[in-house]
Amino acid sequence: MDTAVNDPSPRRAAAATCAAVLIAAPASGQGKTTVAAALARLHARQGRRVRAFKCGPDFLDPHWLALATGASVHSLDLWMTGEADCRSRLRAAAAEADLVIVEGVMGLFDGTPSAADLAERFGLPVLAVIDAHAMAGTFGALAYGLQNFRPGLPWAGVLANRVASERHAGMLKDALREPSQWMGALPRDARFALPERHLGLVGAGELDDAMARLDAAADVLAEAPLGQLPISQLPQVRFDAPEVEDAAATQLLAGRTIAIARDAAFSFIYPANLDVLVALGAQLAFFSPLAGDALPACDAVWLPGGYPELHAQALSANEPMRAALAAHAAAGKPVWAECGGMMALFDELATHADAAPQHVHRLWGLLPGRVTMQKRLAGLGPQQLQLGSHTLRGHTFHYSSCETPLAPSARTARPGATQAVGARAGEAFYVHGPVRASYFHAWFASSPEATAQLFGAMPVAPGQDAAKEETDDR
């Protein structure tokens, strides 16, 4: 008897299989992005469909991966985005791509969850990139340790970066216990070096020769064993869909237009966050404060993170934007200002406290107080923000501190920690009239309902009353 019609079991989309690899390293700064982008560019310019992902929270590396692939790059994080989201995105990518590349985060086993956790969960073979510029035999020990530290970790091989010569490359290859693990070497070469600054890599969009750098790296990789492997000989991975597909989002922002700042000063935007806003029914209108764009007619404003400190003089001089934002707030319309976006809303932004002389820029003045850049990292790691009964997941990463008379309305908490207004581990969440602001970067899909609150669909309901909270000094 056919019982399929009444079968209540969860439905899955069809699994998809394609070539896939996770590019990791023993530490940050080893060259993961260079290798991942070079491999993507090499196959993309040969006419293959390549999709890339970034493990963990990151806004900058994805710029390079997107340039290499010509497609949006999403984050995969077993905590922030969730396993079901990761699984859904990987399966969808594999269904349309010839090659899926995932760039790891920090060192292979660093963080909770780590890149190794992601590789193990989804069967992604690990290609280890090791900066070998000052080693020989130790290269083999390091490669062996990465491969065998966690039994059963899927493995694809090892590639040496910043190698001095062919002789040096030969020494590194000979140091491996299994020569078949050798995927080649890249030299230290200024033609494909990716410049960095305090928050990470310089965005690809800021360099006129960004594509030329990727092509130079791809040219060299093409001569290495990894670059010469036919696509059919790269590891093939089967990706299953989640047992339960995501439910359609309730259109809590239907009929609302959200104006979003997007330029070199405000570039930290997850493409997935834009997708959530659209799924919630919002119309998106982008503008560039640096280009002198007027604030679009809108119901709410989003000022994302970025580098306002690098463009403070231009932002300070944009009097029309200052006036437009003031009028927007005076009309009671919501503003969500995230990290760099929040920095731009304070009265002043100062350069490093120990710089001589210290330069202070007058900014847009919707929040009272001053932001000061510093050389030491002030906030880093996963965070979550509770708004009423809903919780947004995300992260923090900044090199500035703020002094303000505002009392935080709430504070974020680390994963697994109890959120408390007085807990110094979390980032302040300010509510000042219709302005909501924090150093916290939100992953909107973790709570569409809380996201809708940020943009005015309903009153923001912080988890606790913070009327007596002291000034934030983080």
Q: What is the mean pLDDT of residues 139-165?
A: 96
- What is the share, in percent, of the chain residues with pLDDT greater than 90? 74
pLDDT at 200 over 90: no
Closest CA to 412 of 374, 450, 449: 450
pLDDT band at 379 (very low <50, low <70, confident <90, very high): confident
pLDDT at 314: 94
pLDDT at 16: 94
Q: What is the mean pLDDT of residues 376-387?
A: 84
Per-residue pLDDT tens digits for 404-461: 999 999 999 988 765 544 445 689 999 999 999 999 999 999 999 999 999 988 655 5
Q: Which two tokens stand for residue 17?
A: 């299989």
* Alpha helices in 49-137, H assignment, sequence order: 61-69, 83-96, 115-122
Per-residue pLDDT tens digits for 301-321: 999 999 999 899 999 999 999
Q: What is the mean pLDDT of residues 463-473?
A: 37
Measured distance CA(29)–CA(34) in Å, rounded: 10
Domain boundaries, the chain: 16-239, 257-454
Write the CATH number of the domain with boundaries 16-239. Answer: 3.40.50.300
pLDDT at 353: 53
pLDDT at 66: 94
Report the side by side order of strands in the sheet with 367-373: 360-362, 346-350, 367-373, 400-403
Q: What is the mean pLDDT of residues 345-370?
A: 83
User: What mean pLDDT value characterizes the chain?
Assistant: 88
Identical topology for domains 16-239 and 257-454: yes
- Among 162-176, 233-247, 343-357, 385-399, the minimum mean pLDDT is found in 343-357
Which CATH topology does 257-454 take?
Rossmann fold (3.40.50)
Q: What residues have CB less than 8 Å from 416, skipping those under 6 apart? A: none
Residue 442 is inside which H or E element, if any? strand 441-443
pLDDT at 74: 96
Measured distance CA(13)–CA(94) in Å, rounded: 12
> Is residue 288 within 8 Å of 320, Cβ to Cβ?
no
Q: What residues have CB less than 8 Å from 418, skipping those under 6 apart? A: none
Q: What is the mean pLDDT of residues 12-35?
A: 92
> Is residue 36 within 8 Å of 103, Cβ to Cβ?
yes
Amino acid at 186: L
pLDDT at 459: 59
Q: Give catalytic residues, as residue numbers.
A: 339
Measured distance CA(361)–CA(370) in Å, rounded: 10
Quote the strand ranges of 132-246, DSSP E: 155-163, 182-187, 196-197, 200-201, 236-239
pLDDT at 188: 85
Q: Which residues of 94-107 are buried (b: 16+ CB within 10 A; e: fewer)?
A: bbebbbbbbbbbbb
> Is residue 336 within 8 Å of 299, Cβ to Cβ?
no
pLDDT band at 204 (very low <50, low <70, confident <90, very high): low
Report the side by side order of strands in the sheet with 390-398: 379-387, 390-398, 441-443
350, β-bridge pairs? 360, 372
Q: Which two tokens stand for residue 155?
A: 């493995």
pLDDT at 254: 94
